[in-house]
Amino acid sequence: MLAVAVREARTGLAEGGIPIGAALFDVHGVLLGSGRNRRVQDGDASTHAETAAFRAAGRRRTYRDTIMVTTLSPCWYCSGLVRQFGIPRVVVGEARTFHGGHDWLAEHGVAITLLDDPACAGLMTDFIAARPELWFEDIGQD
Amino acid sequence: MLAVAVREARTGLAEGGIPIGAALFDVHGVLLGSGRNRRVQDGDASTHAETAAFRAAGRRRTYRDTIMVTTLSPCWYCSGLVRQFGIPRVVVGEARTFHGGHDWLAEHGVAITLLDDPACAGLMTDFIAARPELWFEDIGQD
């Protein structure tokens, strides 16, 4: 499932964007929607990878049967999305380059799988080194 | 400033949508962007009023000089947005019909002004009575 999110992240990088991707699956592994950070591509500060995947999955009555997969530890904004909509499981590609709200989600009963995937970490390490101002803009740090 | 958010909420209601509106201002009271819940209008589960206002304000280097005004207590998703981007002040129209994450934001240093505005509360009370299934869908409750 991580491969779908990584593919989104790589597409974002090729577009000149921030290489974070995400995908929402059901418990049977069926892809419901995927997306990537679109700050640069759409000039849209509100579209993080997880919110893009959530949007792409369309309107749903419940998220109890879904899994959010993301290349990077979800920020507070995306962690809030997971908590509000009751997504019970999050697979995190890596949390080396950014430690978001996944511990908070775990405290609130969300099952977190932290993969520490070298490909995900490599994408962000290289990106932060190349475009630090864009990265800090994306997480709201001056 | 609340009037801008209420106007967005009323426009949303007239469109057949969920009547929640929000606006982002700078500290001088200049409107940076406003928006409304667009679940029904756009079939977009990711666009809550606060995220719509945030998006409409465009890309910004910092949010330290901004105020988020919303007709309703922000859900976890929108509270996460406020925390991640360091928005230091939130004006909440009402929290009678829904108690979101504004206490959590206050614990983390965000200045919260809770107005308990009758117009805001009336909009949501009437809406929840008329369309409970749509309201529960919007906050991810089965």
What's the pLDDT tens digit per position in A105-124?
A: 999 999 999 999 999 999 99
Cβ contact, residue pair B55, A63, below 8 Å: no
Interface test with B, best of A37, A40, A77, A139 (most B CBs within 10 A): A77
Smallest CA-to-CA distance from A30 within A65, A59, A60, A73 is with A65
Q: For A59, phi and psi rounded to 5 degrees?
A: -75, 130
Predicted pLDDT of residue A88: 98
Q: Per-residue pLDDT for A142 more than 90? A: no
Please indicate, yes or no, if residue A113 is contained in any of the structural domains: no
Catalytic residue among A50, A94, A133, A137: A50
Predicted pLDDT of residue B142: 81
Interface test with A, best of B79, B84, B98, B142 (most A CBs within 10 A): B84
Q: Which residues does residue A31 pair with via DSSP β-bridges, in sequence order?
A: A25
pLDDT tens for A70-119 read 999 999 999 999 999 999 999 999 999 999 999 999 999 999 999 999 99
The answer to whether residues A117 and A93 touch, using CB atoms and an 8 Å cutoff, is: yes
Rounded Cα distance between B64 and B141, Å, is 33
Please indicate, yes or no, if residue B53 is contained in any of the structural domains: yes
The pair of three-digit structure tokens given for residue A52, joined into one six-digit string: 């893009």
Q: How close does chain B come to A10, measured CA to CA in Å? A: 22
The pair of three-digit structure tokens given for residue A107, joined into one six-digit string: 């405290």
CA of B16: how far to CAs of A55, A59, B42, B55, B134, in Å? Answer: 20, 16, 11, 22, 11
Cβ contact, residue pair A140, B63, below 8 Å: yes
Q: Looking at the 3D structure of chain B, how many domains does it have?
A: 1
Rounded Cα distance between B76 and A81, Å, is 7
The pair of three-digit structure tokens given for residue B95, joined into one six-digit string: 């929290």
Please indicate, yes or no, if residue B113 is contained in any of the structural domains: no
Predicted pLDDT of residue A42: 98
Q: Which secondary-structure segment (H or E) carries A139?
A: none
The answer to whether residues A89 and A68 touch, using CB atoms and an 8 Å cutoff, is: yes
Please indicate, yes or no, if residue B51 is contained in any of the structural domains: yes
Cβ contact, residue pair A61, B137, below 8 Å: yes
Q: Tell me if residue B76 falls in helix, strand or coil.
A: helix
DSSP state of B134: H
The answer to whether residues A40 and A47 touch, using CB atoms and an 8 Å cutoff, is: no
Chain B contacts in chain A segment 7-66 (CB below 8 A): 39, 43-47, 51-52, 54-55, 57-64
Predicted pLDDT of residue A64: 97
CATH code where residue A26 lies: 3.40.140.10
CB-based contact, B107 to chain A, within 8 Å: no
Cβ contact, residue pair B84, A139, below 8 Å: yes
Q: How close does chain B come to A61, measured CA to CA in Å? A: 5
pLDDT tens for A20-33 read 999 999 999 999 99
Complete edge-to-edge strand list for the sheet that includes strand A89-92: A31-36, A21-26, A66-70, A89-92, A111-114
Please indicate, yes or no, if residue A48 is contained in any of the structural domains: yes
Domain of residue B29, residue span: 1-57+64-108+118-139
Residue-by-residue pLDDT tens, chain B, 142 positions:
999 999 999 999 999 999 999 999 999 999 999 999 999 999 999 999 999 999 999 999 999 999 999 999 999 999 999 999 999 999 999 999 999 999 999 999 999 999 999 999 999 999 999 999 999 999 999 8
DSSP string, A9-36: HHHHHHTTS---EEEEEETTS-EEEEEE
Please indicate, yes or no, if residue B70 is contained in any of the structural domains: yes
Smallest CA-to-CA distance from A23 within A46, A54, A48, A45 is with A54
C-beta neighbour count of A109 within 10 angstroms = 9
Please indicate, yes or no, if residue A102 is contained in any of the structural domains: yes
Please indicate, yes or no, if residue A24 is contained in any of the structural domains: yes
Q: Per-residue pLDDT for A58 more than 90? A: yes
Cβ contact, residue pair A63, B140, below 8 Å: yes
